[in-house]
Structure 1
Amino acid sequence: MKIRRILATAVAAAVTTPVLLLSVTPAFAETKPAAQSQDKPSIAELELAAAAAQAAYDDAVAAQSAAYAALETAMSDTTPLALAAAAAHAVAVDAATAKTAADQAVVDAQAALDALTDTATDEERTAAETALTDAQAAATTAAEAKTDADAKNAEAQDARDDERVEAARTYDQAKKATAAALADKKAADEALAQAKEEEAEEGGEEGEDCVPESKLTTVVTGLPATVVAGTKVKFNLRVTNGTDKTMDEVFPFAYVHATDTSGLKDIDDLVHLQWSSASNSKWQTVDNEHYMDAISPLKAGAHADIKMRLTIDASAPAGNGVTFVAGDYFNDNGSCGGTPDLEGYEFMIAAAGTDPGDVDDAKPSTTKPNTSDLQPQTGTSASPVNGTLASTGSSPATSQLALASGAALAIGAGAVFVVRRRKAGTHA
């Protein structure tokens, strides 16, 4: 496990909200080991969660399939409500036809009555009047029948349509439930895969801790104390193994953070840090974990130089920045450790077009965290890790950044005491 993997987030939080770090016990102290062990689920727990998510997804898929079949049935013409609607429609059509015929009979009877001449007998006139009266009565009955048939037809059509709408709504809800279950399943699978990957990466001999190594040093030279927006500056990072033993793999670490002059607005997206080395001459962007390629090996007393390049976008406002560097080592025998502190090199950002004149190189923070009371922390230790924030002596414009730098140094000092290669199912 790379010791400072979590520090990028911690440093960012420190720069933007340094008060947060002041209110937190420094450096991952295990004052409550039992409670802390519950913060992160075990592989077994994640496997159970993934299995449950898979079962929920399978159930959702089955429910969606059933809902679709029900929708197809509801949309057919053979359901009881569909058959009733068809029958009611037929009755309504017949009633409309009958009313039309009855209305025409009234028209015909009225025409026959009107066509009688003065020579018509009383019997003929009486018969015509009776025929008109009967036709009018029949037309009234047909109209009433049509009104009743239309109402029943509308009711039957509504009942059939309501059934279909409800089936469609149920299917839509089933699809949404399936989508949600799939998202949960993917999240559970990803969490399990990540945990297994971390377990494989962090796996090692039980109880073996990474330790601080003050003779593994990282020093920056050539980084200007003021960098103008819209320019690129190159500087050097030297990693030195000052011990009498070869380190099989050394991972240089670098992180840059910047804010505007208020210290409240994060402008990280406008600053870019790259590196190259003798073994990898092409400029590489510092990755999301802020580690560079391993130096493998770094012999006793030897050093390796890494070229660094800092680019600040022309759109960046005037502000403040800090570059943190450190190094971690891992040996083939499973031993590991790293520099006790994060070195913070503060610089100012000048607006594009500014002529800063001659500027000195950025200097590392001069006060290290007080680690005199720190002891390597094992899985059973409950001793708190205490540290003091660095005092950088920066100008008021960079006070928040300086405070954050000191907080980050405190974090870095403690991190190496608690990060370890863990066996499966345990937590640092």
Structure 2
Amino acid sequence: MEPTDLGICEDQDPNYKATLRIALSGLSGKIAKGSGWHPFKMTVTNPSKNAIKDVTLAAGVGPLDSDDPFTLKQAVLQAYDPDGKRWFNVTDDGTYSLGSLGPGDLPGHTTVDLSFRLNVTAQAPVGKALTIGLGVYPDTKNNCEATSFAAYQISIVKPGTPTTGSNPVPQTGGEAPLPSEAPAKGGSSHVVPASDTTAVSEGSLAHTGASSALPLIAGIAGAAVVVGAGTVFAVRRRKSGGAAV
């Protein structure tokens, strides 16, 4: 999808609430530098009866006190492609850990789980960080770009620092608290199209009646950013209740 001139619905109407729901789950509240991959999940839900068209997702991680995401040398964010059976970097420019996925359509009364993992390298700065999941789609009725997001504060700590039992801090706008259970390691939680009903028994897709949908992630990512995902990411950071302003 090409960038659009539509304004952001929430900016035009402070009381606007997007239909799409985004939630993140599975990350520890503390991640030690150089400790390897940490899996988590983005859950995308359409609670309405009508399909949401042209949904583009974005995910990113960065310092709490900056609008810029981490570079790939500091933290690598990856999503799982079940068709290719491999992980790929979530990045739109090959430099920063912020990228867009999609677009795709999400049928009514449908929930899709997308698998991600995060590797914080030895080059990452110690301190507070923010993870964000974002969904963007055109609201044709209101002639604006609808956004839904979840944001959680985590701490990047020195190697050897105890991290067991730590919980991330949901920021204002986070759709749901993070459960303590993390997805199974090794990529067993898959990114799936909503039409893949065989995944229901594996717990990787909650499917409630829709017969088909385009995959929200298809093959290796590299889609154009919609309304500038980086700009929206920065706006969501400032509205997340964290220190970033």
Identity of aligned residues (%): 23
CA drift of 1:338 comes to 2.4
- Mapping for residues 49-60 of structure 1, pairs under 5 Å: none
CA drift of 1:210 comes to 6.0
Report the Cα distance in structure 2 between the residues aligned to 1:211 and 1:254, rounded to whole angstroms.
20
**Structure 2 partner of 1:215:** 19
- The correspondence for 1:234, drawn from 39, 56, 74, is 39
Report the Cα distance in structure 2 between the residues aligned to 1:267 and 1:294, rounded to whole angstroms.
20
Report the Cα distance in structure 2 between the residues aligned to 1:293 and 1:343, rounded to whole angstroms.
16
- Mapping for residues 256-295 of structure 1, pairs under 5 Å: 256-258=61-63, 268-269=70-71, 270-279=74-83, 281-288=85-92, 290-294=98-102
**Where does structure 2 lack aligned partners over 5 or more consecutive residues?**
11-16, 175-235
**Structure 2 partner of 1:363:** 169
Aligned-partner SS, 1:283:
strand
- Paired residues of 1:251 and 1:293 also in contact (CA < 8 A): yes
Structure 1 residues 390 and 295: alpha-carbon distance in aligned structure 2, compared to 1, 3 A threshold? closer
Q: Which amino acid aligns with 1:225?
A: G
Q: Which amino acid aligns with 2:151?
A: G
Q: Which amino acid aligns with 2:59?
A: A
Q: Which amino acid aligns with 2:79?
A: W
**Structure 2 partner of 1:24:** none
**Structure 2 partner of 1:299:** 107
CA drift of 1:325 comes to 1.6
- Mapping for residues 92-103 of structure 1, pairs under 5 Å: none
Report the Cα distance in structure 1 between the residues aligned to 2:160 and 2:50, rounded to whole angstroms.
49
- Paired residues of 2:59 and 2:99 also in contact (CA < 8 A): yes
Report the Cα distance in structure 2 between the residues aligned to 1:240 and 1:217, rounded to whole angstroms.
5
- Paired residues of 1:217 and 1:339 also in contact (CA < 8 A): no
Structure 1 residues 209 and 319: alpha-carbon distance in aligned structure 2, compared to 1, 3 A threshold? closer
Report the Cα distance in structure 2 between the residues aligned to 1:203 and 1:295, rounded to whole angstroms.
13
- Paired residues of 1:228 and 1:352 also in contact (CA < 8 A): yes
The answer to whether structure 1 residue 243 and structure 2 residue 48 are counterparts is yes
Q: Which amino acid aligns with 2:101?
A: D
CA drift of 1:273 comes to 1.0
Greater percentage in helix: 1
Report the Cα distance in structure 2 between the residues aligned to 1:330 and 1:391, rounded to whole angstroms.
22
CA drift of 1:348 comes to 0.3
**Structure 2 partner of 1:403:** 243
Greater percentage in strand: 2
Report the Cα distance in structure 2 between the residues aligned to 1:279 and 1:295, rounded to whole angstroms.
17
**Structure 2 partner of 1:324:** 132
- The correspondence for 1:314, drawn from 122, 144, 147, is 122
**Where does structure 1 lack aligned partners over 5 or more consecutive residues?**
2-200, 369-386, 393-401, 408-428
- The correspondence for 2:158, drawn from 347, 351, 355, is 351
- Mapping for residues 121-270 of structure 1, pairs under 5 Å: 201-202=2-3, 211=9, 213-231=17-35, 232-258=37-63, 268-269=70-71, 270=74
Which structure would you say has the larger Rg? 1
Report the Cα distance in structure 2 between the residues aligned to 1:267 and 1:298, rounded to whole angstroms.
28
Report the Cα distance in structure 1 between the residues aligned to 2:114 and 2:240, rounded to whole angstroms.
28
- Paired residues of 2:81 and 2:88 also in contact (CA < 8 A): no
Quote the RMSD (CA, aligned, Å): 3.5
CA drift of 1:257 comes to 0.5
Aligned-partner SS, 2:243:
helix
Residues 347-376 of structure 1 show CA distances to partners (whole Å, capped at 9, x for unaligned) of 00111232323222x2321368xxxxxxxx
CA drift of 1:301 comes to 1.5
TM-score, normalisation: structure 2: 0.56
